[in-house]
Amino acid sequence: MLVREVMTTQVVTVRPDTTAKEAIQRLSASSITSMPVVDRTGELVGVVSEADVLRDSLLPEPRVHATPVVLGGRPLPLAVADLMSHLPLTVGPDDDLARAAGLLVETQVKSLPVLDHGRVVGMVSRRDIIKVLARQDLLIEAEIDELLRSSDFECTVVVVDGVVWLEAPSVPHVREIVRVLASGVPGVVAVTFEDRGGALAGSA
């Protein structure tokens, strides 16, 4: 499955000079965990997340400290440019979704900008991938069965925990066609073939 099949295409973005307060309001209003930061030309220059805007956004509460709180160091950041990650992880729309999932699992990032020639065309999040994986096996099975029938292929389809089991003859080019069709259905994590004498008819 490709990233473009799962990603959110209505992307909320901010500019580097957007205030931190406005960034917080946009994150809250859109119920998202991060936003791409784009320049005047629409090019990606960073990503700002919940963690970024929360860091140093709240002043210490004097009532819970035994001694007076003395504020020092740099002033509170006022713009997204002061908070954002300047080298964000990204994926492309035609990348394998497994690559995006791997990046999300291996890092603390909750969502990734999807770039096409430097422009943000979508966002893919952990939640997006979980929704795909959570699809019921029976729904996946019915969709694959209908897809294969409409493509003039007849075979037995069984789906268990997102793994597709297909009865098919040992004809490499036919199996490849069926594998590609089945793999493109949301929720499929693997495709496996079994030889049980079942008939699978179709033209390459």
Q: What are the residue ranges spanned by the domains of the chain?
A: 3-132, 137-194
Angle between the 172-183 and 137-150 helix axes, to the nearest 10 degrees?
A: 130
This prediction's pTM: 0.67
Task: Spell out the CATH class of 137-194.
Answer: alpha beta
CATH of the domain spanning 3-132, picked from 3.10.580.10, 3.20.20.140, 3.40.50.150, 3.40.50.800: 3.10.580.10
Q: What is the sign of the dihedral through the CA atoms of 147, 149, 151 and 157?
A: positive
Report how far apart, in Å, the C-alpha atoms of 12 and of each of 17, 37, 71 are: 15, 9, 34
Strand partners, 70: none
The terminus-to-terminus CA distance of the chain in angstroms comes to 21
- What integer pLDDT is reported at residue 72 of this predicted model? 54
On the question of a common fold for 3-132 and 137-194, the answer reads no
Q: Which stretches of the chain drop beneath a pLDDT of 70?
A: 56-77, 169, 195-204
